[in-house]
A and B are shown apart, each in its own frame.
Chain A
């Protein structure tokens, strides 16, 4: 397994390198990072030319790319194009925030989806099953920004009606969040609405996977054998059926986790959360290629790692899978 993982990681390196090259080319060719400066009052052409030259923007994009690549080992991800501030601390910060959001949303989604999927499968064609199916498709098709806005409106309407603010509708923390446990509780309080908004799609998705695989498992021979041996239905479900039915759902969840770490752009924007998605959109608007490249590299690495984890977990849960 170790050799397999190592081989997968090594294969990922040229993939990431190619992705960064293409994105660097796309960003530098399609946008002028000094555009905002050119609109500034009193800016002179000499100033613009000086910045362009000093930052190497007058060089072909592949020269700029090579400079960026060779700077990574010595300078991390370097500084922003115009302001002399390092990029890495900002990326660390937004990664941490997104991680909190994604972990909470995925845990919630996983727990709810497994419950819904299992009960739906056990009670196939019941009212509960139909209701869950309907709600799942609703969750699939509903734009997340719309659902987020509706949640915000509900909270504001409750505030109008009762004077009680149940949940904050934006930001990661209060103005004075306190320290220790108070800070943690404040953060959880602020994450409730974003987590629900982010989890709703995952719940819809995972519960469908869970239902399908559960249906397959509960009709399999070994489950029938367990019943014939007189095991209790609850034990059959939890110990024999669910354990195997979870395999595809866990794989999907692991893949999804990596993708979500690239940032739930819409949710982070609507709720004003300082996460990976919002950071990417902000830097894209500024046309600064260096933070965009840093972001892309980090996201590519995360996705590669979580894809690998998904494969390894799959093999761990299903011993029939062997790695060559």
Chain B
């Protein structure tokens, strides 16, 4: 045997040499954009202003690397496993719908010519397809595509379908002409603009196994600005421009979704120019890091549809009384929570005062404003109801000491800080809060209906978030109960507070069938008012959303709704 010591060193030298070679290759790769960046930061003296402006003009071609923490499980946005924002980011790029949701929570027609027309008795919705709307293979978007989409959703064999709500109410349809179709419903369905939010191509998917055909790939035909190209699972997903996009030219060549599960790493990638765009959960330090590179990176922050709140388990002794829940709501300084946790990221964020509508929706009313922080009022309310403060300062009401567990998803820093603020506020009122968290999603195992928990579920007060929608009809499931004569009210599947108010439930059901937007909003705001008396929950704040992009890209605009940041991807372009 020759010298064994020399072999490792030979390997080391070889590795070092390889690293240098690769690094040299990498320099070549990044040289071009870097030169451009330098041009933007330090314009050449010889270049006049006009040329500078010219350089910022959108150009054809280019690839946007979009960093994302999560990766889709499957690509079919209609199925349960695809019922996520990360799937929508891909699916919505390829399959447009009748309408889309704009950043201000408004509906905007996409494939149809103006918002669809409705009649109330019988309830019908008429879609008139735009003349130019076409699939990427040249086939026009047709009424048959609407029929196919409807039939696919209601097909019982598709047992993985996320929801058939609304589609199930369609009892008949009439193809009026090549571009017009009318659906007739068995009853009014208020959230009708959310139907057909992705239209499926009948001529491509007819006869395919719908629950298998779009799991790992999408067909090469779509109506959107980008089409699926490839998916290296665990790594990246590539979308390529639809060269025959019916609504104008798509400037970019490609969008590549790069999947990295760690926000800190994604932020460093953004700062280091490895990705061009991302939309992380904004934290204070993250915004600071982006500010450091504000000469290269632009970002927008706005309050989004994900909103935090506390839920009361109204079956728990003590929390089964309205006045106790009201006192807790009055005891929490929600303003301070927002100032401490949200305003450093989004200075415009406010306390959310409505569990039905978001603060940036037109229909928003401050239903919970009466429950703004007032510790004296909270104590007075308790004392009016016969509660007495014990030696330790904690109130006791009819033999029940006001001491409750407040739980959330452990490890979520913002929620844990909010818990501590609430604990301190309520201690001042005379209500004891003990924090009892479960790590991550394990916490949600505690939340359910009494039927599923086989009794009272194991939580007192829960801090978590729901995702809002332009249409509040889904709230029927969360706050509503079914009332049968002579029987206890039955909480609906997501009514984990088990708060049952007959009037509120009736109003929710009425609102679900009220198609006039103003009338519908009035009914839901009435529900919000009732909830502010019953206090099954206390809304706290909307989570801010952030979209950051390299200045070399023009066109991105934060859309804090569940339409995702790709809502206007057709307008994105490189400027250099």
**CB within 8 Å of B: which residues of A?**
30-32, 35-45, 48, 50-51, 54, 80, 82-85, 90, 93-94, 97, 107-108, 110-112, 114-115, 118, 149, 152-153, 155-156, 159-160, 163-175, 185-186, 188-189, 192, 234, 237-239, 242-243, 269-272, 274, 278-279, 282, 285, 287
Contact = CB atoms under 8 A, between A and B. Distances in A.
A164 B25 CA distance: 11
B162 A40 contact: yes
Contacts of B74: 83, 85
A234 B266 CA distance: 49
Q: Which residue, of A50, A165, A279, has the highest number of chain B Cβ atoms within 10 A?
A: A165
Contacts of B440: 285
Interface stretch (B228-236, B316-324, B349-357): B228-236
11 contacts: A31-B445, A43-B494, A45-B493, A80-B81, A82-B81, A166-B26, A167-B26, A169-B268, A189-B19, A234-B3, A278-B234
Contacts of B22: 185-186, 188-189, 192
A186 B18 CA distance: 11
B262 A272 contact: yes
Interface in B26-43: 26-27, 29-30, 34, 37-38
Contacts of A189: 19, 22-23, 25-26
A271 B273 CA distance: 16
Contacts of B11: 107, 111
B160 A167 contact: no
A175 B441 contact: no
A188 to B, nearest CB: 6
Contacts of A287: 441
Contacts of B448: 38
Contacts of A83: 73-74, 79-81, 160, 215
Interface of B: 1, 3-5, 8-9, 11-12, 15, 18-19, 21-23, 25-27, 29-30, 34, 37-38, 63, 65, 73-74, 79-81, 83, 159-160, 162-163, 165, 211-212, 215-216, 232-236, 238, 256, 258-262, 264-266, 268-269, 271-274, 440-442, 444-445, 448, 467, 469, 474, 477, 492-494
B235 A192 contact: no
Most-contacted residue by chain A among B12, B26, B256, B258 (CB, 10 A)? B26
Contact of B441 (A36, A97, A159): A36
A171 B235 contact: yes
Contacts of B259: 272, 274
A71 B290 CA distance: 50
- Would you list the 8 A-B pairs with minimal beta carbon distance, nearest first? A274-B234, A272-B260, A111-B8, A83-B81, A42-B163, A189-B22, A41-B474, A163-B34
Contacts of A192: 19, 22
A189 B26 CA distance: 8
Given A112-B12, A279-B234, 10 more contacts: A43-B163, A83-B79, A156-B271, A165-B272, A170-B260, A171-B235, A188-B22, A271-B265, A272-B265, A278-B234
A171 B211 contact: no
B235 A112 contact: no
A90 B15 CA distance: 30
A166 B494 CA distance: 50
A31 B511 CA distance: 36
A238 B4 contact: yes
Given A42-B165, A112-B12, A153-B268, A35 B30 contact: no
A42 B233 CA distance: 29
A35 B233 contact: no
A171 B272 contact: no
A115 B5 CA distance: 7
Given A111-B12, A269-B261, A272-B262, A165 B274 contact: yes
B450 to A, nearest CB: 13
B358 to A, nearest CB: 14
